[in-house]
Structure 1
């Protein structure tokens, strides 16, 4: 076991306070996990810090809180034997060292008090099992029984115990292995990668919320395709997002082929990751083509088609979010809208950009027109430099046109210049379909450029439309 001093890692006064308090209680205490890992990786210090006590973590937390300024509240999680203190922007979590055993069909462990070694054995990866002693006489000593430092140096994700045991005990660790590999640019050790594939079905006992939490972290990494490729290789992805894996493969009929929409999608997600940290726009990039698998058809005259795949894909978004217990609120509706409209700017960019088409794009996309353009620009994955330049230039023209049209016509967040109440008053109407017809006609006239988006022009148009409908103006 390595015994090196790393006092510089634990200079914050909180560490000394915890160490001295533990000694007063006759316990040993250690900082363990992500804090130690990130210190050696020279990453930003995490605000959530894990401490392990050889004894009662809850007792240690309560005693520590009583020593701190302001005597912060201790939140106790009795079922897990843990306690948490929020202090100076940090979340300090305390647990007693323990050993765990699991039943095959459950995520709930049988927990017993244990040694530091027992606690390190039950950690997910060697790089998260390193601990620094906080007790005064051994302050800063590194305890690294599985050579986590060596694995950090080699950039390897490896489990402390045989990987099958680690993953079977807590199947979410399979997702965490992939997430760490993606975030840290590490490789998963080959036995560990094989074990994920062998134990993939154990993931079914994990709650959807915990799985989605890891998915989010993978999706929000600088290059999400790394994680999605690993999930695909280990067959986890087909369990979580079968709509995505259904896109894989290229079919050829009568010499005509289509592109592999799965690998294309991962390229799009990597592209959008360079330009936005909006998680829901990244979800839209991930799901923008899911409607292509169920709509794929071959026609002798025109080849492969994916008719109405955006409409079908938008409907699939709802089912997917519901199955994964993701929010069915405005975030889901935003993803749906992006998927539904994902081809609109592309069609515009390929043709002559008319003011009318741009007005309709702005009207339908509303406040999300910029995000839609960002998604469509990320959708450019051609390797042909000439084509790539052409598409990018075309999208730039569309963006310029959007700015020009919006400045002139104010279509974004469109409100009709003439209200329904005014139409009723003008023609002495009660609520009726005629009002809807006139309002729709005014909107269409503005979008088509027949009249400007101004009150006077819309009012005159309303009078003309009413005349054609044989409505009498109230005198």
Structure 2
């Protein structure tokens, strides 16, 4: 964090957009302030292009005049129902709103709004660090207005509400999610009185739509260390309202002196591990792409890897969050083995669609990606724990498809054993699995793993409609190719097909 004087703030705001806003506001005779996250991030030295401006008067009038002053390069959007307007200018977005005071009814987060002063507007802000305002009027340009000591809270790394936190959270319960989100993103601590209010008002979260909760939760998941947010959500009683399937994992049971690990905190450790591995992989790829001597074909592969990594960044983290979600339903005691969680991957994968639907998360390929990784996440571990055979790795590559590297990243993150020798053995075996995968990719097994005789040809050959027999014959050919007992060539596969069809009592169609 950097402490800034008013003069230094004025220098940081010495840009065309701010000076033009200043001229417009002075011309209209209204007070004008840049507020909220943009000001906060100036002190935290974080880049930001999203600017919020409060006008003591009509924000829409200032926005419309600003657009006219900036000309064709500026684009104006007006939202009269909300009393706001947005001006987009090059890569910068400025949101304008008139200063206001708000009051709420108990069953809605939609406020009753009245015109107000700057003080009224700062009173309604969610946290002290977001209530900072810097004047844009020419005679006070760069002057900080900080009525709640938000600057001190920034310096101390504290999240605190400007007014009574019970009123703040009860009025708009989404602020509870934002409280945890800001604490997670900024690695700040939630002040005790504010945290206690989270606990007291947790049930109010029920009036918030799934879409708004999902938006804040995804921002927590995308933070550098999302476990911080999930611990806070859990401690405050919010997580059980959002993802009860996770909170039931916060359990350790002991029988005959044998205990299982706490699968909730294990899940959070895996999630953080995935985040770290994603960041390491991204840094590696970016560095490689800067190599001027690298082969162009190789660069294209790195670009594709980087694009895949970025596209799946959030969803691989969701897979980490969900990977053990089936364990609560699968926990059993065995007098010989102790605690077991057999088939928890399969049960967890079955749970994913219902969780995504309830959370208003996408039900498209993103959900199927998460579901697939949850289902497959035990496979590399089983392979690594036994002999790393070509056949087993072929099957894994075939089932994981283009997501095989993501699956391996998840599985490596899943090794959280405190036994250093056991952990090292698994990681070494995973290295062997990765080498085998690379070898198979180089031999283009991905293309060869699909038998060259497909279901349509089988149905035509034996005069069948889609049926169990067709599935059995397709599976027999696929198994033979995966096991490498028959080459993926037409003649030997046709011989095997005739043999399997005969065993099922099928005859070739007469032409």
TM-score band by shorter chain is over 0.9
Check if 1:31 corresponds to 2:34. yes
Compared CA separation, residues 388 and 437, structure 1 to 2 (3 A): closer
Aligned to 1:396: 431
Aligned to 1:343: 378
Q: Distance in 2 between matches of 1:34 and 1:413?
A: 53
Q: Distance in 2 between matches of 1:313 and 1:55?
A: 54
Quote the offset at 1:424 in angstroms: 5.1
Q: Distance in 2 between matches of 1:175 and 1:339?
A: 26
Q: Distance in 2 between matches of 1:460 and 1:87?
A: 68
Aligned partner (choices 14, 18, 21) of residue 18 of structure 1: 21
Aligned partner (choices 175, 180, 197) of residue 195 of structure 1: 197
Residue 249 of structure 1 aligns to a residue whose secondary structure is coil
Once the two structures are superposed, residues 89-108 of structure 1 have per-residue CA deviations (whole angstroms, 9 ceiling, x without a partner) of 22211000000011111111
User: What is the root-mean-square deviation of aligned Cα atoms in Å?
Assistant: 2.0
Deviates more, 1:125-134 or 1:398-407: 398-407
Q: Distance in 2 between matches of 1:38 and 1:388?
A: 40
Quote the offset at 1:460 in angstroms: 4.3
Once the two structures are superposed, residues 314-358 of structure 1 have per-residue CA deviations (whole angstroms, 9 ceiling, x without a partner) of 121111111111111111111111111111111111000111111
Aligned partner (choices 297, 311, 326) of residue 332 of structure 2: 297
Preserved CA contact (<8 Å) 1:3 1:143 = no
Aligned to 2:507: 471
Preserved CA contact (<8 Å) 2:398 2:449 = yes
Compared CA separation, residues 464 and 409, structure 1 to 2 (3 A): farther
Structure 1 segment 145-294 matched on structure 2, within 5 A: 145-276=147-278, 278-294=313-329
Quote the offset at 1:470 in angstroms: 5.9
Q: Could you tell me the TM-score, scaled by structure 2's length? A: 0.88
Aligned to 1:317: 352
Quote the offset at 1:465 in angstroms: 4.1
Q: Distance in 1 between matches of 2:372 and 2:448?
A: 15
Aligned to 2:103: 101
Compared CA separation, residues 446 and 415, structure 1 to 2 (3 A): closer
Structure 1 segment 352-431 matched on structure 2, within 5 A: 352-408=387-443, 410-411=445-446, 414-423=449-458, 427=461, 429-431=463-465
Compared CA separation, residues 300 and 19, structure 1 to 2 (3 A): same
Aligned to 2:299: none
Preserved CA contact (<8 Å) 2:345 2:375 = yes
Quote the offset at 1:121 in angstroms: 0.8
Residue 74 of structure 2 aligns to a residue whose secondary structure is coil
Structure 1 segment 113-124 matched on structure 2, within 5 A: 113-124=115-126
Check if 1:40 corresponds to 2:43. yes
Aligned to 2:11: 8
Compared CA separation, residues 424 and 317, structure 1 to 2 (3 A): closer
Q: Distance in 2 between matches of 1:331 and 1:235?
A: 28
Compared CA separation, residues 125 and 245, structure 1 to 2 (3 A): same
Once the two structures are superposed, residues 244-263 of structure 1 have per-residue CA deviations (whole angstroms, 9 ceiling, x without a partner) of 00001110112221111001
Preserved CA contact (<8 Å) 1:250 1:260 = yes
Q: Distance in 2 between matches of 1:453 and 1:413?
A: 7
Once the two structures are superposed, residues 78-131 of structure 1 have per-residue CA deviations (whole angstroms, 9 ceiling, x without a partner) of 232111122212221100000001111111111110000110111111111111
Preserved CA contact (<8 Å) 1:157 1:189 = yes
Compared CA separation, residues 422 and 295, structure 1 to 2 (3 A): closer
Aligned to 1:458: 493
Structure 1 segment 54-73 matched on structure 2, within 5 A: 54-70=56-72, 72-73=74-75
Quote the offset at 1:452 in angstroms: 2.5
Aligned to 2:306: none
Gaps of 5+ in 1: none
Quote the offset at 1:281 in angstroms: 0.5
